[in-house]
Amino acid sequence: FLAADFNEDGSVDGADLALWKTGFGASSGATHVMGDADANGRVDGVDYLTWQRQFGSHSAVSEVAAVGVPEPSAVLLGLIGLSILGPCRRKFT
């Protein structure tokens, strides 16, 4: 979990800074999406410092999602290759 990932997209970037700027000055009832990194109900300089420290960071979830699943075309090519090579096997007795 990245405290400064205000839009919760898995990375701390300029979009999160924009949310902090919009919420800056809220003195009570502020939420994480408004830019409250430390969950104290305020959007202030401490939250901005958290954003600065985490800027450029990515959560493990977003990195796994980026690497995760092979392309469907690769699976299809593999199946075609197996179907071609399958009949070519010789049986030795």
Token reading at 24: 């800056």
Biggest CA pair distance of the chain: 83
- Alpha helices in the chain, H assignment, sequence order: 14-23, 45-54, 60-67, 72-85
Taking the model in full, what pTM does it have? 0.64
pLDDT in tens, 25-61: 999 999 999 999 999 999 999 999 999 999 999 987 5
| Mean per-residue pLDDT of the chain | 84
pLDDT band at 91 (very low <50, low <70, confident <90, very high): low
φ, ψ (nearest 5 deg) of residue 9 = -100, 5
